[in-house]
């Protein structure tokens, strides 16, 4: 069968699947038609219609752009691309496509309706963007009210010296006030009176006390001003946290592996950007075998599947490691669980069939090889 006849046969199968509502299967048939004949614009155009039904608007836009590259005046391609762009929120691009249709076919009613919808959505977005945001309310800054609190001086216990208890200390505390004051010495502390005394007023006599004032307990409800020792030192009010041990330091320095799963877009882009099989193998290993079905979903395409299989064959040919063979076997068991695997498998070329055969020959046939 010639290339064009084979592509046409795949297209007819795709049309039948599309009419039956099996859009994922239709995508597979249209993909096979594109592989058989890449110069025919009808095949990507039809696949774009199936992608639109599946809600895969980015893929639909890409296929429409491919079709327009082969047939620049294709009205259906412009219309479907406009629909895809509108669904993606790219309203301005969609409006350009619908205007281009009306240049080619001024009486195209569906294009006029879609253009009106797109312009209405564009106006709605413009209004939403033009509404000013309410200015944030600035709370007035209220300065805290300062209040004076008493300071209790706690004396460290000392052994009494032979000298008189009324002797002044070697390092007395000097008041900062320059005003006259009356001082009465009590042990190593001196009570300072800062009130001005008239020359005619006689200061009251304060009896000396040999015992230091009792410290105030912290059980009161009123907050005190702090505790200080007479020698100028202050007690520690908190316990510093313990330093981490060397084992803790090592565990903190070790990087934590990321649990975020690789998306299909990132995986496909990474595989396409690398032509080295060893680099592709490292990319594949970043996706655990059990995550393969979820990552691909209904988006498995023949080119990416064949690329994965060729990478497996290269790795098996270059390495005899049993662990590597076991890991590849897990991937080969996981791939048939992808939603579109059976459809993609139907359109394998002879080269792809040979790749699968060589792979299972190296891995050893088992019950899972029947799915291939």
First to last CA, the chain: 25
Residues ≥6 apart with Cβ < 8 Å to 104: 73, 75, 78
Tell me the sheet residues that pair with 228. 153
Q: What share of the chain is helix, strand, coil (3-state, %, to 5)?
A: 55, 5, 40
Conformational region of residue 364, where left means phi above 0, alpha means psi within -120 to 50, and beta covers everything else: left
**What per-residue confidence (pLDDT) applies to 8?**
94
Q: Name the token pair of 263.
A: 């998306």
Residue 262's Cβ-count burial label (10 Å; 0-12, 13-18, 19+) is middle
Report yes or no: 283 and 267 within 8 Å, Cβ to Cβ: yes
Inter-CA distances, 289 with 118, 285, 336, Å: 43, 8, 11
Mean model confidence pLDDT for the chain: 75
Model confidence pLDDT, tens digit, residues 355-365? 999 998 888 87
Residue-by-residue DSSP string for 321-346: -HHHHHHHHHHHHHGGGSTTHHHHHT
- Give every residue of the chain whose pLDDT is below 50, as ranges: 128-130, 132, 134-137, 139-140, 152, 159-188, 192, 196-210, 218-229, 236-239, 244-260
Task: In whole angstroms, give the CA distance from residue 24 to residue 299.
Answer: 9
Q: How many Cβ atoms sit within 10 Å of the Cβ of residue 341?
A: 19
Whether CATH 1.25.40.10 fits 3-127: yes
Task: In whole angstroms, give the CA distance from residue 177 to residue 246.
Answer: 53
**What per-residue confidence (pLDDT) applies to 198?**
44
CA angle 289, 293, 295 (to 5 degrees): 90
List the chain domain ranges: 3-127, 264-371
Task: In whole angstroms, give the CA distance from residue 155 to residue 228.
Answer: 9
Model confidence pLDDT, tens digit, residues 166-192? 444 444 444 444 444 444 444 445 554
**What per-residue confidence (pLDDT) applies to 351?**
87
Model confidence pLDDT, tens digit, residues 314-353? 999 988 888 999 999 999 999 999 988 888 887 788 888 8
**What per-residue confidence (pLDDT) applies to 57?**
95
**What per-residue confidence (pLDDT) applies to 251?**
36
Distance of CA 273 to the CA centre of its chain: 23
**What per-residue confidence (pLDDT) applies to 255?**
33
Go through the chain and tell me how many residues it has: 372
Report yes or no: 337 and 344 within 8 Å, Cβ to Cβ: no
């Amino acid at each position: 069968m010639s290339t064009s006849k084979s592509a046409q046969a795949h297209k007819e199968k795709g049309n039948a699947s599309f009419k039956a509502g099996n859009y994922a299967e239709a995508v597979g048939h249209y993909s096979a038609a594109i592989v058989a004949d890449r110069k025919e614009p009808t095949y990507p155009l039809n696949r774009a219609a199936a992608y639109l039904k599946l809600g895969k608007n980015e893929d639909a836009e890409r296929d429409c752009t491919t079709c327009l590259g082969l047939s620049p005046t294709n009205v259906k391609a412009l219309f479907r691309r406009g629909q895809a762009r509108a669904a993606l929120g790219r309203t301005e691009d969609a409006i350009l496509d619908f205007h281009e249709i009306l240049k080619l076919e001024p009486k195209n009613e569906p294009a006029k309706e879609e253009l009106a919808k797109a312009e209405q959505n564009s106006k709605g977005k413009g209004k939403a963007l033009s509404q000013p945001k309410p200015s944030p309310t600035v709370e007035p800054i209220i300065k805290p009210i300062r209040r004076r609190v008493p300071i209790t001086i706690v004396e460290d216990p000392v052994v009494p010296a032979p000298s008189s208890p009324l002797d002044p200390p070697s390092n007395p505390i000097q008041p900062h006030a320059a005003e006259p004051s009356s001082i009465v010495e009590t042990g190593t502390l001196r009570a300072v009176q800062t009130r001005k005394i008239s020359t005619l007023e006689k200061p009251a006599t304060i009896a000396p006390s040999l015992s230091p004032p009792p410290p105030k307990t912290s059980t009161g409800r009123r907050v005190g001003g702090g505790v200080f020792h007479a020698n100028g030192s202050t007690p520690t009010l908190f316990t510093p946290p313990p330093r981490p041990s060397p084992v803790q330091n090592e565990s903190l320095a070790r990087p934590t592996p990321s649990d975020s799963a690789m998306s299909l877009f990132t995986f496909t882009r990474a595989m396409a950007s690398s032509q080295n099989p060893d680099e592709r193998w490292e990319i594949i290993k970043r996706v655990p075998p059990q995550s393969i079905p979820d990552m691909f979903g209904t988006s498995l395409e023949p080119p990416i599947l064949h690329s994965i299989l060729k990478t497996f064959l290269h790795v098996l040919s270059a390495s005899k490691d049993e662990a590597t063979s076991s890991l590849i076997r897990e991937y080969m068991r996981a791939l048939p669980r992808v939603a579109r695997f059976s459809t993609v498998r139907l359109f394998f070329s002879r080269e792809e069939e040979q790749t699968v055969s060589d792979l299972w020959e190296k891995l050893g046939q088992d019950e899972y090889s029947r799915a291939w």
